[in-house]
Amino acid sequence: MTEGGYVGVTASSMIMTNKKLKEELESTFKDIQVIVPEDTRLNITAREEDALTILKFLKDRGFNFLTLISCVDWIKENEFELVYIITSYLQKNDEYTQREKLQIILKTRISRTIPESKTVTPIFSNAEVYERELHELFGIKFEGNQRLIPLFLEREYKIPPFRKDFDTREYVKEVFDKIPFV
Amino acid sequence: MRELELYFGPQHLGMVGNFSITLKVEGDRILEAQANPGYLHRGFEKLMEYRTWIQNFPMVCRINVIEPDSMEMVYAMAVEKLAGIEVPERANYIRTIVLELSRVSSHLFGLWAYANMLGFDTVAQWAMYHRDLILDLFEELTGGRVYHIYIWPGGVRRDFPEGFKDKIVNTLHSIGSCIPDYDNTFFNNRLFYERAKGIGKITQKEAKELGATGQVLRATGEKFDIRKVEPYAVYDKVDFEIPTREDGDAYSRIWVIRDEMIESVHMIFKLLDAMPEGSVYNKVPNPFKWKIPKGEAYVRVESSRGELGLYMVSNGEDKPYRVHFRTPSYTHGLVILEKLLKNASIADVGNIMISLYVIAPEIDR
């Protein structure tokens, strides 16, 4: 097996891998909910403070590709949901196994009033730019990320623009109606 | 030597679209680079939350101007997954053919940009002309040259018109017959070799750490391709190779693009032969009253630039609750570009950027 490989599990039996990973996760972490919606997916819901250790745990088992960090604004519950999508690159270069099909979605919730989370850049270095994006568009502060500088926006916004309480149409009227036609 | 700050783009000949880089230079050496996106987008992910599932299509295809079909495909796949819609077999074949055609057209556009940047104007014009032939095919099939809005949830918008198969074959033959010319003038040209060899080199380990996909990763020897890893449409029913190179530099990346184009053309011929008859569209509910059950989905396809993903959340309404695209240029243009530009010379900025195959609209949100 290559480095960080999933030793002892034949890649062909996907359901086995899924179940074994689920068991392992449930025995290692408390307060964790693991669902297998289909053979190639694994959804984990965990506490925010565990997210970093779970990501480390998964990376040690060969899930070495952080595909995306996303955020969903659940305004009614007054919470942000951080979504980490993790898969793996090929285990052997000339072979496609069931293993690479497995996508893990890790979800954690943080408070909307004080939106703060720990950075995952020590584990996945490409997380930096995703965290920059979420910092700018949702106003989430990632503790430990040294480079939370502006990415897309050119103006200051009272409410970060991707939050649900930011009304794009109102904003457009407010800002651009004042500019006279040439 | 004095340290200077140099603004490269957005109005610059060596720049791909609305995108700029701030360079910190000392003489000709780049000490530090900072990519600045944000010049052209309008918060499309946010706007999609205001529109119904079908109304979003005109916006989706504008995310990647050069290759709108894989964008439509990934959006349609996400909607189908959330709503549990099946796609007819013939529609899957048509989708695959359209996606491969658009890969060829996108690669020709990429070749135009790269050859133009190196000063191979003749080759660039050929590539643009050949791309135009494929756009003619798209015009006949979909009514639009650039934005097609052809792939829908449930299938494709209409079947192939009469005689369309032969037109595809003829067009691809006339493009394919020029490959020796391309090779003699450009790919086997010493000037291309001298100018691209060793430029923007990245190792496989670094590429994986930074989240590279597509040509950037395949040029380092890894055969990672979503079409093989997690086949969608009918990619599991057609036989094709994943071209790779070992060196991870600009030279390798451009060769991978060339080989992929040829592989795609072969694939289209095979698909046209194997295409079944039947309907191309499963009816979906009235778009104005269409509510999709609560849920979330992450789907991915291999666009011409790498892994294109879409994370979509529905809360049971007639509009998406959250849409987030994972575009390949996002990682390549923001993370890998900044890394490769360190210690490069100013003359190589365009070379590195275009060989990474970055397209600016994909980066912006």
Using the beta-carbon criterion (under 8 Å), do B209 and A126 form an inter-chain contact?
A: yes
pLDDT score of B331: 92
pLDDT score of B32: 94
Higher-pLDDT residue of B103, A31: B103
C-alpha A170: how far from chain center: 30
List pLDDT tens digits, range A52-84. 999 999 999 889 999 999 999 999 999 999 999
Cβ(A91)–Cβ(A11) below 8 Å: yes
Which of A71, A78, A133, A137 shows the shortest CA–CA distance to A106?
A71
Domains of chain A: 14-176 (3.30.460.80)
Residues in chain A closer than 8 A to B298 (CB atoms): 67-68, 85, 103, 105
Using the beta-carbon criterion (under 8 Å), do B331 and A83 form an inter-chain contact?
A: no
Q: Return the SS3 of B156.
A: strand
Which of B138, B257, B235 shows the shortest CA–CA distance to B187?
B257
Sort strands A141-143 and A116-118 into parallel, antiparallel or unpaired. parallel
Confidence of residue A179 (pLDDT cuts 50, 70, 90): confident
- Below-50 pLDDT ranges, chain B: none
Query: Within the 41-60 window of chain B, which residues sit less than 8 Å (CB to CB) from chain A?
Result: 41, 43, 45-47, 50
Question: Side chain identity at A76, as an amino acid letter?
Answer: K
Tell me, yes or no, if A131 comes closer than 8 A to chain B by beta carbon.
no
Rounded to 10 deg, the angle between the B250-274 and B89-118 helix axes is 150
CB count in 10 Å sphere of residue B146: 13
CATH superfamily to which B3-363 belongs: Cytochrome-c3 Hydrogenase, chain B (1.10.645.10)
Tell me, yes or no, if A181 comes closer than 8 A to chain B by beta carbon.
no
Tell me, yes or no, if A35 comes closer than 8 A to chain B by beta carbon.
no
Confidence of residue A1 (pLDDT cuts 50, 70, 90): very low
What are the extents of the domains in chain B? 3-363
- Name the strand (E) or helix (H) holding B176: helix B164-176
Cβ(B137)–Cβ(B167) below 8 Å: yes
Residue A98 has pLDDT above 60, yes or no: yes
Using the beta-carbon criterion (under 8 Å), do A162 and B50 form an inter-chain contact?
A: no
Distance from CA of A69 to the nearest CA of B (A): 9
CB count in 10 Å sphere of residue A179: 7
ipTM at complex level? 0.92
Q: How far apart are CA B232 and CA B243, in angstroms?
A: 19
Residue A15 has pLDDT above 60, yes or no: no
pLDDT score of B5: 93
Residue A4 has pLDDT above 90, yes or no: no
Tell me, yes or no, if B32 comes closer than 8 A to chain A by beta carbon.
no
C-alpha B40: how far from chain center: 18
Distance from CA of A126 to the nearest CA of B (A): 5
Distance from CA of A71 to the nearest CA of B (A): 9
Residues in chain B closer than 8 A to A151 (CB atoms): 37-38
pLDDT score of A10: 43
Using the beta-carbon criterion (under 8 Å), do B335 and A128 form an inter-chain contact?
A: yes
Least confident of A8-17, A26-35, B42-51: A8-17
Distance from CA of A35 to the nearest CA of B (A): 13
pLDDT score of B360: 86
Confidence of residue A6 (pLDDT cuts 50, 70, 90): very low
Cβ(A76)–Cβ(B316) below 8 Å: no
Q: Return the residue of A nearest to B224 by Cα.
A: A90
Indicate the pTM of the whole model.
Answer: 0.93
C-alpha A19: how far from chain center: 22
Q: Going by C-beta distance under 8 Å and a sequence separation of 6 or more, which residues neighbour residue A107?
A: A43, A44, A45, A46, A81, A82, A83, A84
A144-176: b (≥16 Cβ within 10 Å) or e: ebeebeebbeeeeeeebbbbbebeeeeeeeeee
Confidence of residue A94 (pLDDT cuts 50, 70, 90): confident
Least confident of A161-165, A172-176, B351-355: A172-176
